[in-house]
Chain A
């Protein structure tokens, strides 16, 4: 049994992370089966309603028969009413694209693997500007179809094969996946024209997505609970889209809805289909599209179909995306580095502070330093650690300036020869954004996952990233 806290934490993580997770589609609750009690209650209510109607009919009948009598009667019970179905007509989705799978330019199929892993075709779809974008994970590329003809192939060699949740916005593509530990999401941004990865972000709980608008994924829940809406995403105007299995029985039907920001239903459609949608996506102009796999007689995947479920609307007129394509700078703190001009050590009960040049940073009581010696006046240091929403360090450590920072890269904007770029780091929390020195660029691999970078002050004393050191060990 280890003694040090870090060792105990390491032991817990090492062992408990090996506990097998249940299948992904069982993480959320499946539709509940009616219990005996519920069935009984429903039966009693049903019988009660019928009895009430009979009583009412008898009263009315007696009333009619004894129209001339002076016997007063109490008002009859009101018959129970059923919940009406949405005011739409059940109909099927409209086929938008149908292509066979295969090799070469055709979308591929990832074959089945031992261990119960089924074969799978293209995992995700997006429809924008009259074009259909298919994420062809078997070949790590996005296929673009215009009027049912293949017009572009965008190789995404840096993409994760298991990614999904394809979203297209302007000249960018986005994919999302769970990381290998299952604890975080990985989001990538690509240039459609070149297929090169522009940004990669590993998102822990509470981190902001790099997607320009909300998009379902990476998985689609197959067993929806009745009456529980499943959000699909947003269009560029901020209207929300969702699907649900109506609480009222309507067979194999699903309702798809468009709602405004206040939650008012702008439009809906109820479809009845046996088609299993592998992915559902919302276009920026408010269409809902479904992706399904076609199967041959032997139940092998032979093609892929894209369906229009809810036609786009011309109603939304706003053209400004509801979310910016880059993380808001307001969500980031400056990475504090500089020459120590004052230091008041925090105690277990009293707060402290450290001043770097003319800037002062508050240190909460009991916040540290947690790993090394306290700073001394005149030394050049960086302060690392978690901070509260107000910017107070809740735990901190000190590193000599120039030693660098090791953290999870959330996002990267390359610098040009004349303008600085930025690197966003996921830890410490909240994320920090550090400028990248002019002319310094990194490869996609260097800005993916846990990496270390050299940080030195510029002429004005602001910390900036000047070089790549290597992956975090």
Chain B
């Protein structure tokens, strides 16, 4: 497998950006965190690019999520999180979409896994590897999340 050069990395990043950004917004319900996380992942890739370009979306998603979590803790310490979240129009806009309404029922961890599976198209094995959890946990989380979303769907029907 050829090594990923800096320019190849930048090209790959630009291509993957739209889908991974949207996935991060859906998972975090926060556009700023999504963009900050991707910026950090970009720089991480500049320093230590992934070993190959297979499942690049998964790599970016995982690294950006890790960065957004770190950022979340930092912001929580600065006690500005609540203010920022309420100002960010992303959750409100997302909730106007059918999927957004359903995702809002889930925890961030559940959203992270469900979005990776159904939007990024990652397999359960890939999600488990990317997030450092067991495949069974991924499978159970997907099932629980679907059940919760279906229940909501049935209430609406």
- Whether chains A and B associate is yes
> Interface on A for B, CB 8 Å cutoff?
1, 3, 8-9, 11-22, 26-29, 181-185, 203-206, 214, 216, 219, 225, 228-231, 233, 240, 242
Contact A29 B18 (CB under 8 A): no
Which of B19-27, B80-88, B130-138 contacts the other chain?
B19-27
The listed residue (B14, B56, B97) touching A18 by CB distance below 8 A is: B97
Contact B21 A21 (CB under 8 A): yes
Q: Which residues from A are CB-within-8-Å of B22?
A: 16-17, 19, 21
Give chain A nearest CB distance to B51 CB in angstroms: 13
Give chain B nearest CB distance to A286 CB in angstroms: 16
Residues of chain B from 78 to 103 with CB closer than 8 A to chain A in the complex:
90, 93-94, 97-100, 102
- How many residues of B sit at the interface, in one of the four size bands? 35 or more
Q: Does B35 contact A (CB under 8 A)?
A: yes
The listed residue (B7, B18, B57, B154) touching A240 by CB distance below 8 A is: B7
Contact B56 A28 (CB under 8 A): no
Q: Which residues from A are CB-within-8-Å of B5?
A: 231
> Interface on B for A, CB 8 Å cutoff?
5-7, 10, 12-19, 21-23, 25-26, 31, 35, 38-40, 42-43, 46, 53-54, 56-57, 90, 93-94, 97-100, 102, 115, 118-119, 121, 146, 149-150, 152-154
Instruction: Please measure, in the bound complex, the distance between the C-alpha atom of A17 and the C-alpha atom of B7, giving whole angstroms.
Output: 27
Query: Are A203 and B15 CB-contacts (below 8 A) given A1-B102, A1-B149, A231-B6?
Result: yes
What are 16 residue pairs bridging A and B, where the CB atoms are less than 8 Å apart in the complex?
A: A1-B149, A12-B99, A12-B119, A13-B119, A15-B100, A16-B115, A19-B94, A22-B35, A27-B14, A28-B42, A181-B18, A183-B15, A203-B15, A206-B53, A231-B6, A240-B7
Q: Which residues from B are CB-within-8-Å of A14?
A: 99
Contact A15 B42 (CB under 8 A): no
Give chain A nearest CB distance to B24 CB in angstroms: 10
Contact A15 B118 (CB under 8 A): no
12 extra interface residue pairs, beta carbon distance < 8 Å, beyond A26-B35, A27-B38, A228-B46: A1-B149, A3-B150, A12-B99, A15-B97, A16-B99, A18-B97, A22-B31, A184-B15, A185-B15, A205-B56, A206-B54, A219-B14
Nearest 8 A/B pairs, CB to CB: A1-B153, A231-B7, A29-B39, A15-B99, A15-B97, A182-B18, A12-B118, A12-B119
Query: Are A229 and B121 CB-contacts (below 8 A) given A12-B99, A21-B21, A22-B21?
Result: no
Give chain A nearest CB distance to B15 CB in angstroms: 5
Instruction: Please measure, in the bound complex, the distance between the C-alpha atom of A283 and the C-alpha atom of B35, giving whole angstroms.
Output: 34
Give chain B nearest CB distance to A216 CB in angstroms: 8
Most buried by B among A28, A203, A205, A231: A205
Instruction: Please measure, in the bound complex, the distance between the C-alpha atom of A216 and the C-alpha atom of B11, giving whole angstroms.
Output: 9
Contact B23 A16 (CB under 8 A): yes
Give chain B nearest CB distance to A234 CB in angstroms: 8
Q: Which residues from A are CB-within-8-Å of B26?
A: 16, 19
The listed residue (A183, A214, A219, A225) touching B18 by CB distance below 8 A is: A183
Contact A205 B46 (CB under 8 A): no
Most buried by B among A8, A12, A225, A233: A12
Give chain A nearest CB distance to B25 CB in angstroms: 5
Contact A19 B14 (CB under 8 A): no
Instruction: Please measure, in the bound complex, the distance between the C-alpha atom of A240 and the C-alpha atom of B6, giving whole angstroms.
Output: 11
The listed residue (B21, B97, B150) touching A1 by CB distance below 8 A is: B150
Give chain A nearest CB distance to B148 CB in angstroms: 10
Give chain A nearest CB distance to B139 CB in angstroms: 13
Contact B118 A8 (CB under 8 A): yes
Q: Which residues from B are CB-within-8-Å of A183?
A: 15, 18-19
Q: Which residue of B lies closest to A18 (CB)?
A: B97
Give chain A nearest CB distance to B75 CB in angstroms: 15
Contact B152 A1 (CB under 8 A): yes
